[in-house]
Amino acid sequence: MKKTLIATAVLATLGSTAFAQSTVQVYGRLNLTIERQKVGNGDNNWVMQNNSSRIGFKGSEDLGGGLKAGFQLESAVNPANGTNNAFAGNSGFWARQSEVNLGGNFGMVRLGNFTSEAYYATSDYVGMHNHETGTSSDAFYAYLGRNTSKVAYRTPGFGGATVEGSVTEGGNANRTYDLALNYDAGPLHLGAGYEKNTPADKSANQFALRALYELGAFTVGGYVQRDKDGFGDGLGNRTTYRLAGMYAVGNSEFHVNWGRAGAYSNRLGSLGDSANQYTLGYNYNLSKRTKVYTFYTKVADSGTLYGDFSSFALGVRHNF
């Protein structure tokens, strides 16, 4: 009887130790809007719009000596009808993210499927009003990164800066390279991103710089991007700008956002002409996880590449 009790106690201790060293978190976001949308000269339509809702699992295991193993699985979902959504052209259930990583004092190595860090360091960073989701997201940013079958390395932080680079699998004629830099110095936040595709039929690339500054209740930010063939083969070079501002008081946030895409140097007819996007938004934070919000966004395209579009929206976003 004594031996049985001792063995049970040892097993319980080992089990609790293993549990304490490993953590798994369930998280997600449900974000829906009711919108009055208009495309071109068409009629106004009422739409229930999904805004990048997702559910995910992430965890880590402490391996000792400062070494940790981790994973993240994230699925795109549509709360409007309960279905699983494709993401970035990938219809897989874990299309948003599926990676395993190993980190320590040396930094972090990541393997799998995940979004471009160059995008997070630039366009997404200044998309404050609805976190670059739905119809009010950035219509002009040239996103070139392939998400799948990537290997990445992230440096440890040094002097407020981190760097991450990645490459996708494939031969020299079928790869995407991604490089991102983030730097934080108090209220000042700087970033840069570079992407390059090398498939056999084209060699698209983009480079962007971002700055954001917090001044009390005001936050202002923006980026400038230069891309080649970012929206199609043979279009040539283009420069894109975006400015964003937020004023936060109490539970309220007031947002304004303007972006401009310059004309492509080799535009074909009206394809690739200049365009502007304007967004005004208001968020009311019911809690740290839940907000109600409204916005109006409009894309005004002098050509045919982006299209003319406008939407007035009322929405609810809940994080868990």
- The full DSSP string for 167-198 is EESS-TTS-EEEEEEEEEETTEEEEEEEEEE-
Question: Rounded mean pLDDT of 126-141?
Answer: 92
Question: Does residue 171 register a pLDDT over 90?
Answer: no
Largest CA distance in the chain: 88
Torsion of CA 97, 193, 215, 135, to 10 degrees: -50
Q: What residues contact 317, with CB distance under 8 A and at least 6 apart? A: 29, 30, 31, 51, 130, 290, 291, 293
Nearest CA to 227 out of 243, 209, 207, 241 is that of: 207
In contact, 59 and 68? CB cutoff 8 Å: no
Band (pLDDT 50/70/90 cuts) for residue 8 is very low
The domain segmentation of the chain, as residue ranges, is: 32-55+124-319
Question: Rounded mean pLDDT of 196-223?
Answer: 91
The fold of 32-55+124-319 is Porin (2.40.160)
In contact, 113 and 73? CB cutoff 8 Å: no
Cα 242 to Cα 258: distance, rounded to the nearest angstrom: 6
pLDDT in tens, 59-115: 999 999 999 999 999 999 999 999 888 787 788 899 999 999 999 999 999 999 999
For the entire predicted model, the pTM comes to 0.89
CA distances from 147 to 4, 101, 168, 211 (A): 52, 15, 8, 25
pLDDT in tens, 279-301: 999 999 999 999 999 999 999 99
CA angle (181 as vertex; 320, 24 as ends), nearest 5: 30
